[in-house]
């Protein structure tokens, strides 16, 4: 395939040439790069290397960091004057060079992963206090994932999976998870804060943890 032509592909054209990743589980970096999948194209954008695979996923590598995303899952946003991230309509950027769109998505994910890694490493752990819901994520536990991340300092696949898992929760489920495991609140304290019964807190936690478990 002519390299010059590849570099001129628009984001829309690239998406049309690849299979959809909709509904597919996001693979980790090592899983994707060691899968034997054929490289569809590879290009550089400033200091970053973008590698697109024939299954529709791509890797973004820069400064020793890397991330994975589906090409057709890329989106562009901008920050409003109120500090709110606003999504840009796909029709507004689908005719841009594919590398520009993938670079924007990749750099945003790298920045987010850095923040997530620091947050999970310092404060996110699931520690049983005798309640049966705390056992739902025992294998593997979030602590196991963080320990693995320490041993593989450049491997962000697990953090990405956890990020996707957390995004799958409803606002109410994410709220109790954050209170319990980020802010270390007890079930009783959460019940007071949210004005719920202890039973309602347990039920919400159970539902959230069961959903998280599907990703691990």
| Residue 18 binned pLDDT confidence (cut-offs 50, 70, 90) | very high
Q: What is the pTM of this model?
A: 0.53
62-95 pLDDT, tens per residue? 888 899 999 999 988 776 666 677 778 888 888 8
124-171 pLDDT, tens per residue? 444 444 444 444 444 444 445 545 555 554 445 556 667 777 888 888
Q: What tokens appear for 212 in the block?
A: 């998280």
| Residue 51 binned pLDDT confidence (cut-offs 50, 70, 90) | very high
Is residue 6 scored above 60 in pLDDT?
no
Rounded to 5 degrees, what angle do the CA atoms 161, 165, 166 make? 120
Alpha helices in 92-197 (DSSP H): 98-123, 142-151, 157-167, 171-177, 187-194
Classify residue 103 as exposed, middle or buried by CB count within 10 Å of its CB (0-12, 13-18, 19+).
buried
Q: Looking at residue 42, what is its pLDDT?
A: 92
Q: Which residue has the tokens 């697109």?
A: 52
């Amino acid at each position: 395939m002519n390299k010059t032509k590849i570099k001129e592909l628009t984001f829309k054209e690239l998406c049309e040439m690849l299979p959809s990743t909709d509904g597919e589980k996001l693979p980790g970096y090592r899983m994707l790069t060691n899968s034997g999948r054929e490289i569809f194209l590879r290009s550089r954008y400033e200091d970053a290397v973008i590698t697109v695979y024939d299954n529709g996923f791509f890797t973004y590598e820069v400064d020793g960091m890397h991330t994975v995303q589906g090409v057709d899952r890329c989106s562009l946003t901008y920050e409003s004057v109120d500090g709110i991230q606003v999504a840009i309509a796909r029709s507004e950027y689908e005719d841009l060079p594919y590398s520009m769109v993938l670079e924007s998505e990749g750099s945003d994910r790298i920045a987010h992963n850095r923040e997530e890694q620091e947050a999970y490493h310092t404060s996110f752990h699931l520690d049983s206090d005798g309640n049966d819901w705390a056992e739902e994520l025992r294998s593997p536990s979030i602590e196991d994932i963080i320990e693995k991340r320490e041993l593989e300092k450049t491997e962000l696949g697990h953090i990405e999976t956890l990020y996707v898992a957390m995004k799958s929760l409803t606002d109410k489920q994410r709220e109790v998870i954050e209170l319990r495991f980020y802010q270390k609140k007890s079930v009783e304290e959460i019940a007071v804060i949210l004005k719920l019964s202890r039973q309602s807190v347990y039920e919400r936690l159970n539902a959230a943890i069961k959903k998280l478990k599907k990703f691990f």
